[in-house]
Structure 1
C-alpha cells in the first residue's frame, strides 16, 4: 500500500513530456503548471478513500463472487466475451471519449483505427513474450545470464518499462522547464465525493482486483469513459479529480485482490503473489469464510499502512514544493532511464532487451499518432483472450 502512495511522487514529477505531446497525463500537466503538490495530495487522498471504501465492501464482494452466490463462476465462463467488450471500449473511447456518437468526424475514425492497430501490435508482442517459448529461445546472452532461459513472468518488466517508462523519460528530455502549462480555469477547491465517483471507484476496484489483465488506467477508462487521461485537462479541478479517481481505483483494486486471493485462489498482482507464498497452506477450496481472520489481519495492515503513508505524504508536501525543479530535471530523467534499462538487462538479458526495444518503439509511436498509451494494454488483454478462447 505504501507503494501506491509513494508512486504518486514519481508519476507526477519524473518523465514529464512537452505539453505539445497528446498523451500528457493530468498529473504531469499539473506539475507543468506548478501544481505538482496538488496532484500528489489528490493521489494520496484518492488512495486512502479507495482503501477505506474497499475494506468496507470486500467481504460482501467475496460473498457475491464466491460462496454462496458464485458470481465469478458465471463470469469466468463469459471471460472471452468480457475481454472482447473491454477491448472494444478501449478502442471506441479513443475516438469518442464520452461514448457519444452524435458527430461522425473523420479524425475520430482515424484515431480508433490507430488505437485498434496499437492494440493488435502490443497484443502480438505480449503473446510472443507470454504464451510462446520465447523465454527459452536459443539466443546468445550476456555473461551474467547463466541459464538457457529466463522466467517467463520476468519478461513483463522490460515489456512494461518499454511501453510506459522509457518513452516518457525520453520525451521528457526535450521538454521545456517548469512551469509550461496554464489551465483555462483555476482550482476552485476540493469537491465532495459524488455517488457516481464512489460507484466508479468501487466498480473499477472490483475489476482490477478480480479480473485478469485489468489495470487501474484501463478500469478507469471502462468505468468512466468521459474521464480519460488525455482529455480531462481543461481545468485544474478536472485534472485533480482524474488523479484522485485513478489512485482510488488502484487502492480499491489492491484491497479487492485480497478477496480474490482467498476466494478463487488467484493472485491478481505481484504483492498478492508474495502474500500467497506466506499463506499458501491456509486456502480452503470453496470455504473462503474460514479465512476471514487472516483476511482481516491483512486488511488491517493495509489500513494502517495507508494511514501512515497519507500522513507521511502530507508532511512531505512542502519539501516537494521546494524540490520540484530538481525532480523534473533532465539529470534525474537520464539517471532513471539508465537505472531502468540496467535493471531490465541484468534480470532478463538479451531476451528482455529485444522485448524492451519492441515495446519502447510502440510506446514512442503512440504520441506520434495521437493516441493514448492505455491502448498498449492489449499486450495483456490479447494473450488473456487467447487463453480463455482456447480453454472453451
Structure 2
C-alpha cells in the first residue's frame, strides 16, 4: 500500500515513506520486529519502482527512475498505446528482478574486494558514456553545450541544496531538477486536444524480445547501483546509448523497467556487503538490525509479483482516459508539479525549477535529444569522482 501511494503520487518518493516509517519505528519495531520493518521497506521500494511508470506514461511526470522514459511512454499514450507501454515496462521490470536476484547474490562475494578500484573508475566510465552519447549524435555541438549547461545547473543546485526545504524528509533537489528538465517542457509544449482512445490488443513485441531488452537494462542497473554517487537516472543515460528511446520505444521501456528494479535489488546487496546506503530506504535499515540477505531478496520477489499484477490491472483502466481534454490535464499536472516542488523544496527549489525548465526547453526548440540534460547528475558525479568538486 505504501508503494502504491508513493508510486502513483507525483512528487512522493519511496524515500519519503521510508523516512516516515523510520519516524514511527519506536512504535512499529516492537510490534513487527526487524523482519516486519524490513518487509515493509523492501515492499515499498519494489512496488514504487513498478508503479512509477504509470504517472510517467499518462501524465508525463518524471521521477528519478523515469526521467528519460517519460518521453517514449507519454508519446505512446498520444498514439493510443499507453496501456501497452505500461505492460511492457512492467514486464521488463519483472525480468529485471529475475535477472538481478542471482547476480546480486554473486555480487556479495566480489563487491568487498573490488570496491576501492571501482570508486576510482567511476568518473572515467561516465565520461566515456556521455562522450559516446554526444559523439554519435548529428548535433554534437548542441548536445555538448546542453550537457555542460545542465551540469553547471547541477553543480549549483547540489552546492546550495541546504537552502531548500526538507518537508517530511522528502525535499530532494533532484525533484525540481528532473521536473524542470524533463517534465514541464513536455507538458508546456504538448499538443492540444483530447487524449486519443486507448486501445490494447496484445503486446507488439513477444515476451522473449522483452527479456532480451531487459538484460542490458539489468546490467546497466546493476552497474549504476553498485558505483558510488550514481542513480537510476544515470542508468537511463547508459541505456539510451544502446537503445534509442525515440526509435525503439518499447525496447527502451523494457530496458528502463529492468534497470530500475535491478538498481533496487543491487542496492540491497551493496548495503549487506559493505554497508553503503544507495537510497533512503536502505538508510532506514540503519535504525534496526538487518535481517539475512535471503530473507530480504525473498520479500523483494514476493513484492515484485504483487506489484506486477497491480500495475497490469491499473494499466487496464487506461481506456477511461480516452477523450479527456489533454490541454486541461497537462495544465493541471504542471500546476500540481510546481505546487509540490514549492511545498517540498521551498523557494530555492522553485528557482531551480525555473532554471531547469529554461534549459529543458532548448532540446524541444531545436529538435535534438534530451539525453544530455542528464549532465545535471553526471557532471557533478564525474567531478566528485576525480576529486575536483
Give the TM-score of the pair, scaled to structure 1. Answer: 0.75
Q: Deviations over 1:77-97 (max 9, x none)?
A: 22232222122123224x1xx
Distance 1:194 1:339 in 2: 34
Kept after mapping to 1: 8 A contact 2:72/2:245? yes
User: Which deviates further from its counterpart, 45-54 or 78-87?
Assistant: 78-87
Give 5+ residue unaligned stretches, structure 1: 17-22, 96-107, 138-144, 233-238, 283-290
Q: Which residue of 1 aligns with 2:243?
A: 227
Q: Which structure has more helix as a fraction of its residues?
A: 2
Distance 1:50 1:277 in 2: 24
Q: Which residue of 2 aligns with 1:92?
A: 135
Distance 1:25 1:383 in 2: 24
1:208 aligns with 2:208: no
Distance 1:83 1:191 in 2: 31
Taking structure 1 as reference, are residues 58 and 151 closer, same or farther at Cα in structure 2, changes over 3 Å only?
A: closer
Q: Which residue of 1 aligns with 2:303?
A: 305
**Per-residue deviation at 1:264?**
3.3
Q: Deviations over 1:111-164 (max 9, x none)?
A: 111111111101111111113x46449xxxxxxx7x9xx999732222222112
Cα-Cα RMSD? 3.2
1:374 aligns with 2:384: no
Secondary structure at the counterpart of residue 329 of structure 2: helix
Q: Deviations over 1:14-73 (max 9, x none)?
A: 139xxxxxx98322232222121111110111111111221122110222222xxx1222
Q: Which residue of 1 aligns with 2:185?
A: 167
Q: Which residue of 2 aligns with 1:158?
A: 176
5 Å-filtered alignment, 1:247-262, equals 247-262=257-272
1:12 aligns with 2:30: no
Taking structure 1 as reference, are residues 116 and 213 closer, same or farther at Cα in structure 2, changes over 3 Å only?
A: farther
Taking structure 1 as reference, are residues 188 and 84 closer, same or farther at Cα in structure 2, changes over 3 Å only?
A: closer
1:389 aligns with 2:386: yes
Taking structure 1 as reference, are residues 319 and 198 closer, same or farther at Cα in structure 2, changes over 3 Å only?
A: closer
Distance 2:88 2:345 in 1: 36
Kept after mapping to 2: 8 A contact 1:30/1:39? yes
5 Å-filtered alignment, 1:274-289, equals 274-280=281-287, 282=289
Q: Which residue of 2 aligns with 1:285?
A: none
Secondary structure at the counterpart of residue 34 of structure 1: coil
Taking structure 1 as reference, are residues 89 and 265 closer, same or farther at Cα in structure 2, changes over 3 Å only?
A: farther
Give the TM-score of the pair, scaled to structure 2. Answer: 0.76
1:122 aligns with 2:129: no
1:364 aligns with 2:361: yes
Distance 1:26 1:83 in 2: 24
Distance 1:175 1:50 in 2: 36
Q: Which residue of 2 aligns with 1:263?
A: 273
**Per-residue deviation at 1:378?**
0.9
Taking structure 1 as reference, are residues 250 and 151 closer, same or farther at Cα in structure 2, changes over 3 Å only?
A: closer
Distance 1:129 1:204 in 2: 26
Taking structure 1 as reference, are residues 325 and 61 closer, same or farther at Cα in structure 2, changes over 3 Å only?
A: farther
Distance 1:62 1:325 in 2: 51
Secondary structure at the counterpart of residue 390 of structure 1: coil
Q: Deviations over 1:208-259 (max 9, x none)?
A: 3112454546435535634121232xxxxxx322211111111111111111
Give 5+ residue unaligned stretches, structure 2: 1-45, 62-68
1:76 aligns with 2:94: no
Distance 2:298 2:146 in 1: 41
Distance 2:218 2:101 in 1: 11
Q: Which residue of 2 aligns with 1:25?
A: 71
Q: Deviations over 1:265-299 (max 9, x none)?
A: 33323xxx2332233565xxxxxxxx6x5333322
Q: Which residue of 1 aligns with 2:22?
A: none
Kept after mapping to 2: 8 A contact 1:135/1:151? no
Distance 1:86 1:54 in 2: 22
